[in-house]
Amino acid sequence: MTLKQMTRTRKLNIGTNLVEFDTPGIGQLLKAAGMEFAMVDQEYSGFGYESLKRILRYLQTADVAAIVRVPTLRPDHIARALDLGAEGIICSPVTADDCRAVVGAMKYAPEGHRGLNTGVAHDRYTDGPVVEKIRAANRLTTFFALIESPEAVENVEEMASIKGVDALWPGINDLAYSLGVPGEFNHPKVKRAHDRVAAAAHKYGKSAARTAFDVKSGVALYKQGFDILAYSGDVWVFKRAMKEGADAIRAKCKALKAR
């Protein structure tokens, strides 16, 4: 299923975040784990374009849809990620005009002003009629508006109304931080902001997406109306699983020794 298809249904879709593991097996591992998409973070991870190109090929080969979190709203950052093969872009607009600018950078004319090259990574190096490729790309590319500030929350209804905005994704760390309650993800201010984002998405027939760091929060978010969930991320899942396993072995071995 493409990202665009995921945002056109309220069926639950689950993926994860990639911030560390640039490894050939990552796409197959995620597919085997039942992940439907991955959000590749270029803002905080340090992934450059060479790394991004490799990761996108790994995900593409495994048929795992790829969203790229670009570091800024600059058109060249957006277009480069798409040219390398991203299906979706996630970034942090603050106003409806920001959203229009992102859509313009993502889409080919007449819907936008993205520069044109064909037969490369984004169309899987295939030949074919250029006009058909333009139309197919405009249908496929998917925009997730990341809501990370009080100003963006205030403008979220107008942003949701923009054609080309496919989903709203309230941030976790940055939104809580910008609301003056860093790390307090259950603070009433944060909850109200997330409720407002979800309501705006539903009002305009868009998906509501968010990261869920554990099963309990994932179920709660789905009940709240979030239909696209990124379950944790490579670093946190790996670290938690390793720690839980190692701690359990130590505890059981200590108990054996004490007998």
- Residue 77 pLDDT exceeds 90: yes
Counting every residue, how long is the chain?
259
Task: Tell me the pLDDT tens digit for each residue of 191-241.
Answer: 999 999 999 999 999 999 999 999 999 999 999 999 999 999 999 999 999
Task: Tell me the pLDDT tens digit for each residue of 32-71.
Answer: 999 999 999 999 998 999 999 999 999 999 999 999 999 9
Mean pLDDT of the chain: 96
**pLDDT number for residue 259:** 73
Instruction: Give the start-to-end residue ranges of the domains of the chain.
Output: 3-234
Would you call 233 exposed, middle or buried from its count of C-beta atoms within 10 A (0-12, 13-18, 19+)?
A: buried
Q: Which CATH architecture has domain 3-234?
A: Alpha-Beta Barrel (3.20)
- Do residues 231 and 218 lie in contact, with contact meaning Cβ atoms separated by under 8 Å? yes
